[in-house]
Structure formats: C-alpha cells, structure tokens
Amino acid sequence: MAANRNLKQVRIENSSPAAPLGMVGGGGGGGNLKGLRGLEAESEAAAAAMALAPSKEGGGDEEQEVGFTIDIKSFLKPGEKSYTQRCRLFVGNLPTDITEEDFKRLFERYGEPSEVFINRDRGFGFIRLESRTLAEIAKAELDGTILKSRPLRIRFATHGAALTVKNLSPVVSNELLEQAFSQFGPVERAVVVVDDRGRATGKGFVEFAAKPPARKALERCSDGAFLLTTTPRPVVVEPMEQFDDEDGLPEKLMQKTQQYHKEREQPPRFAQPGTFEFEYASRWKALDEMEKQQREQVDRNIREAKEKLEAEMEAARHEHQLMLMRQDLMRRQEELRRLEELRNQELQKRKQIQLRHEEEHRRREEEMLRQREQEELRRQQEGGFKPNFMDNVSLNKCKHEHSSADQLGFPLETPNKWPQGIVCFPENSSALEFFFLCAG
C-alpha cells in the first residue's frame, strides 16, 4: 500500500526475507521505533525510510500484503517538540526553474512542512518538517536524487539560534537549564553534556526557537553574572560552533583542485625510518606531543585555580554568613532596646495619665466640696430656710400649742415674728412651757 498524500499512516512492507518484521518494528505500532533506535545512524534512517517508501505492486498477480500500519505521530519522541530548528533541511543544487509547488511535492511524503524557502538564483532552499526523525528519513531518501539532471545535496541546516553554556554546576539538569534560559525566549532544546558514565562535564547547549532571544541571552550573560544555583558560579555563554559529524566530507563533494591531485599521488602508507618522510613526520608528532603537554599543563593550572577559587569562595561564604549573623544579632539587640524604650515610654505615659486622672478626680471633689460650702454659706447669709419634712411636723405642733396658749390668755405675735429656730417638745408638755421656750 502506497503512502497517501496526507501521510497520516504508512505501511512497512516485509520486502526481504533477510529483514523480518521483528527486526524493523516488532509486532505493534509502537515497537517500530525501538527496533529503529537499535540500528546505526545510517541504517536507522534507511530502515525508517522504508516505512515511507511506496510498495511495489506485482503486475497481474495480487499478492497478500504483509506489514503493519504506523501513525505518523509515533515519529515524535516523548517530550520532543515539533517543527524545531533541528527539523530544518538545506536542499542544494536545485534547478533554477523549480517552483514552490514542485519543491513541496518533493517532500509531501514526509508530512506537512511549516517553512518553505527557495532561492532560485543560487539554486538552494530550506524546508522544515515536523520531527527530526522525518527529516532524517527525507535526507536519507532524497540526498543524491537526480532532479532535472541535477543531483540534490541535502543536509541539516545550521542552527543559528544555538548557544554553548560552560561552567555549569554538577547539579544542573536539562530541565533546570531550559527553565533558566526560558526567561529570554522560547527554548526548543536544552541539554547538559555528560561523559560515557553519565557524569556532567560542566558544558551544555541551549537551542532557541529564534535568533533574537539567543542574542539577548548572549548579551545579558556576557554583561552580567548569570547564576543557576546557590553557589555564585556564573555560566559562560558563547555562540555554538556548528559541526557536521554525521555526513562529514564525502568524496563526491571534494573539489578536484591541483592541490587535491598533488596530495592524492601517494596512497595511505607508513613512513619508513631513516627517510625524509619519517624525519618530518617525527617532528610533526613531537610538535603535537608538545601541544598536548602544554594543553594538559594549562588544564591542570586551570583546574588548580578553580579548586583554589572554590576553597576561597567557601571560606568567604562562611565568613559572610558569620558577618550576616552578627549583623542580624546586632539588629535584633537594637530592636529589643528600641522596644524596651517604647515600653518604658508607654508605662510612663500611662502613669502620667493615671496621675492626671487622680488629680482631676481630686480637683473635682474639692470643687464640689467648695461649692457645697459656698452654698451653705450663702444660705446662711441670706437667712433663707427651707424646712424639711420634720420641720413641718414640728411647726404644726407649735401652731397647735400656739392656739392653746392663746386660749390661756398669752398674746403671741404673728408667726412671721417667731424666732428662726423651732424646738420640738413632747406632746404632754404644757402651753406655758412652750411659750417660755418660744420667748427665750
């Protein structure tokens, strides 16, 4: 079954008895990648290209198709982002009359592209596919393909937004590196380089989705000190050197210059001792050995300097922490002293307020007592008197006795001329006694 135009599904055929299905993909839709990853780079791309190659149908004989169907999304690795710079291909040696439709049709079997660019004058173009695996398959299939009598030259495009990050701490991971550099812009990939034992080498690289964020990160990290961990160990950011360690330089791309033909006159060989070749070959080897020793010495000096700096930094950190602790203790003592002063001031204010209240209360009592005395004095001076209830009772008794005295023949003056003091006496007292009391 041939791959359709939308490339939603493809069928891998059992085209050769020497390549059974188990070697390619196992027995399920998700097992094909496991088989592909176990092969070498070239055989991986070639084997995966078989998944996209159309099957050949026999003339009149209808043969039973043996294979399985793969979803195109299975070519995306877990966590891999689609349409990144790593999925961008450079296509060289294009015909000058090629159209964009023809260019897209050339890659239509490998998914829908997100970027297509053609420079007809110089005969090259760029195309960006969905995943790195699809780009590798397209490169493996189409590189060297003859198009209008011109062999196509396909390779991965240079990543212009990639940066190399050095001086990384051993505790920095891929995720932390991506998180740290995401503040400058979208990051497509961030990787910490490790050795064959999985130990961090102190280097890594960050691939941005565009060039402006990469330039911003490079400028900010060059001007300032960008720290990823607690240790004040700034990272060193540089533009990433681009190398092609996959295809290298094949013979078909070599320029056949005069120097090329001169150097190719002699085949590969070992120089014989005592010859001109051996003498200068030995001098070249001695120069290389000297360079190696000097590099080792420089690396050793740098390593010792780093260890010394780390020791000084650790001692300075402890001293700095002690200084901060002393400053914090002094600040706390000053704060306690200030709080104590505020407390004493508050107690003094409360005491003064209490004394004022007591003084005010005493003054009010004295004022009330003084007003009462003045009122009593004024009443005594004015001669006014307001009898109370007992005085009224005594007055009525006196009036009763007055009538009795009048019957006895003792003339009395009017009550207005009576003395101010009224004396109460028992009811059995005689009228004469009352008269003498009133007169006295």
CB 92 within 8 A of CB 154: yes
Residues in a beta bridge with 125? 91, 118
Q: Is 176:228 a contact under the CB 8 Å cutoff? A: yes
Residue 75 pLDDT: 75
Tokens for 360? 């005010």
Strand order in the sheet with 187-194: 187-194, 200-208, 162-166, 236-239
What is the rounded distance in angstroms from the CA atom of residue 440 to the CA atom of residue 48? 149
Q: How is residue 347 written in tokens?
A: 């107690």
Q: Are 168 and 177 in contact (CB under 8 A)?
A: yes
Question: Of 427 and 244, which is predicted with more confidence?
Answer: 244
Number of helices (H), then strands (E), belonging to the chain: the values are: 11, 10
Residue 222 has pLDDT above 50, yes or no: yes
Model confidence over 15-63: pLDDT tens digits? 333 333 333 333 333 333 333 333 344 444 444 555 444 443 444 444 4
- 13 neighbors 68 (Cβ within 8 angstroms): no
Q: What is the dihedral of CA 269, 270, 273, 279, to 10 degrees?
A: 90
Cβ of 433: how many Cβ atoms within 10 Å? 12
Per-residue confidence (pLDDT) for residue 199, from 0 to 100: 92
66 vs 117: which has the higher pLDDT: 117
Q: Are 431 and 408 in contact (CB under 8 A)?
A: yes
* Number of neighbours of residue 229 by Cβ within 10 angstroms: 14
For the chain, how many residues are written?
Answer: 440
Predicted local confidence at residue 63, as pLDDT? 44
Q: Give residues with Cβ within 8 angstroms of 165, minimum separation 6.
A: 177, 181, 203, 204, 205, 206, 235, 236, 237
Q: Mean pLDDT of all residues in the chain? A: 77
Question: Percentage of residues in the chain with pLDDT exceeding 90?
Answer: 47
Instruction: Decide: 209 and 181 in contact? Cβ < 8 Å.
Output: no
Both tokens of 83, joined, read 């349409």
pLDDT single digits (tens) 289-328: 999 999 999 999 998 998 999 889 888 888 988 999 999 9
The secondary element (H helix, E strand) that includes residue 115 is: strand 115-119
Percentage, residues of the chain above pLDDT 70: 70
Residue with tokens 């493996």: 140
Report yes or no: 157 and 87 within 8 Å, Cβ to Cβ. Answer: no
pLDDT 10s digits, 52-102 = 444 434 444 444 444 445 555 557 778 788 888 889 999 999 998 999 999
Pairwise CA distance, residues 394 & 18, whole Å: 149
What's the pLDDT at 242? 84
Report the pLDDT averaged over residues 370-381: 88
Distance CA 72, CA 80 (A): 14
Closest CA to 134 of 84, 169, 93: 84
Which range (134-148, 235-249, 406-420) has the least confidence?
A: 406-420
**Two structure tokens written together for 370:** 């003084």
pLDDT of residue 397: 54
Q: What's the rounded Cα separation, in Å, for the pair 244 and 241?
A: 10
Question: Residue 9 — very low, low, confident or very high, per pLDDT cuts 50/70/90?
Answer: very low
Which range among 190-194, 251-255, 334-338, 403-407 shows the weakest confidence by mean pLDDT?
A: 403-407
β-strand pairing of 115-119 with 124-128? antiparallel
Q: What is the pLDDT of residues 148-207, one digit of tens each?
A: 889 999 999 988 899 999 999 999 999 999 999 999 999 999 999 999 999 999 999 999
SS3 140: helix
CA distances from 189 to 86, 179, 196, 235, 364 (A): 9, 11, 21, 18, 87
Would the CA dihedral through 331, 332, 337, 340 be positive or negative?
A: positive
**Residue 153 near residue 94, CB atoms below 8 Å:** no
What is the DSSP secondary structure assignment for residue 227, as one 8-state letter? B
Please give the average per-residue pLDDT across 284-289, as a whole number: 93
Q: Quick check: 423 pLDDT over 50?
A: no
CB atoms < 10 A from the CB of 128, how many? 20
Using CA of residue 292, residue 295, residue 300, residue 306, what is the dihedral sign?
A: negative
Amino acid letter, residue 113: P
Q: Is 182 exposed, middle or buried (0-12, 13-18, 19+ CB in 10 A)?
A: middle
